[in-house]
């Protein structure tokens, strides 16, 4: 059958226009967090802002760097100065249910190695309990104690000792 020449043109033109419209839309999606939707340009570099993915990744990186809580000698009490840190970790975990965190418990070298394994576990469990109370699901939390076996600072003075009494959140 013979296709009307006008129809032929339209058959070609319409898909082209649609395609153009599609690519235009794609551009606006990546830029929409920056309020540049509909401007018809796609930018890149620092000005383009962060996607949700990228934001999460950056947040995750900073969480991984700020992940240690220190304790007083022979104590498993969580000091008030760490409330903010733990809240941040808890918020992240609540927002990402598939992410799991391992809480390590550590002690300084005073006392015996096996007693320190028990004390380290108490510290790790105290942090886990605290996170649970902030709404984190128990399936996302696990604990291990290294007692005095993995010091952050292997020296033997008081200064080193205070750096070793800690719990570490490991992702």
Partner 1 sequence: MKKLLMALVGWLWFSQSAMAELDILVTGGMDSGRPVAIVPFKSDGSLPEDLANVISSDLMRSGKFTPLSRNSMPEQPAQSGQINFPTWSALGTEAVVVGHVESAGAGQYRVTFELVDVAKGKDGGNAVLDSRVATVTAKQLRKYAHRISDIVYEKLTGERGAFLTSILYVTVDRSQPMPYRLMLADYDGYNERMLLRSREPIMSPTWSPDGRKIAYVSFEKRTPAIFIQDLYSQARSMLVALPGINGAPSWSPDGRSMAVVLSKDGQPDIYAIDIGSRRVNRLTSDPAIDTEPSWSPDGRAVFFTSERGGRPQIYKVDVASHRASRVTWEGDSNLGASATPDGKALVLVSRIQGAYRIARQDLQGGGVYVLTSSSLDESPSVAPNGSMIIYSTVYQGRQGLALVSADGRFKANLPSAKGEVRSPAWSPFLN
96 belongs to the binding site for partner 1 (CB under 8 A): no
57 versus 110: smaller Cβ distance to partner 1: 110
Q: Tell me which residue of 59, 20, 58 sits closest to 40, measured CA to CA.
A: 20
Exposed, middle or buried: residue 54 (CB in 10 Å: 0-12, 13-18, 19+)? Answer: exposed
In angstroms, the CA 53 to CA 39 distance is 23
21 belongs to the binding site for partner 1 (CB under 8 A): no
27 versus 120: smaller Cβ distance to partner 1: 120
121 belongs to the binding site for partner 1 (CB under 8 A): yes
Residues contacting residue 50 through CB under 8 Å, at least 6 positions apart: 33, 58
22 belongs to the binding site for partner 1 (CB under 8 A): no
Q: Which one of residues 54, 61, 79, 114 is an interface residue with partner 1 (CB under 8 A)?
A: 114
Whether the CB-CB separation of 106 and 151 falls below 8 Å is answered with yes
145 belongs to the binding site for partner 1 (CB under 8 A): yes
119 belongs to the binding site for partner 1 (CB under 8 A): yes
Name the residues that contact partner 1, by CB under 8 A: 109-115, 117-119, 121-122, 144-147, 149-150, 154-156
């Amino acid at each position: 059958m013979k296709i009307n020449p006008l129809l032929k043109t339209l058959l070609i033109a319409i898909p082209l226009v649609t395609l153009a419209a599609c690519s235009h839309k794609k551009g606006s999606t990546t830029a929409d967090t920056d309020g540049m939707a509909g401007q018809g340009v796609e930018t890149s570099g620092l000005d383009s802002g962060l996607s949700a993915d990228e934001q999460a990744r950056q947040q995750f990186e900073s969480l991984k760097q700020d992940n240690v809580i220190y304790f007083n000698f022979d104590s498993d009490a969580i000091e008030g100065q760490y409330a903010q840190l733990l809240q941040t970790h808890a918020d992240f975990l609540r927002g990402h249910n598939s992410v799991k965190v391992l809480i390590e418990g550590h002690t300084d070298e005073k006392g015996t190695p096996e007693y320190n394994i028990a004390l380290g576990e108490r510290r790790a469990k105290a942090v886990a309990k605290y996170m649970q109370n902030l709404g984190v699901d128990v399936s996302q939390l696990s604990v291990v104690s290294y007692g005095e076996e993995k010091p952050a600072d292997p020296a033997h003075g008081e200064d080193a000792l205070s750096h070793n009494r800690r719990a570490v959140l490991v992702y």
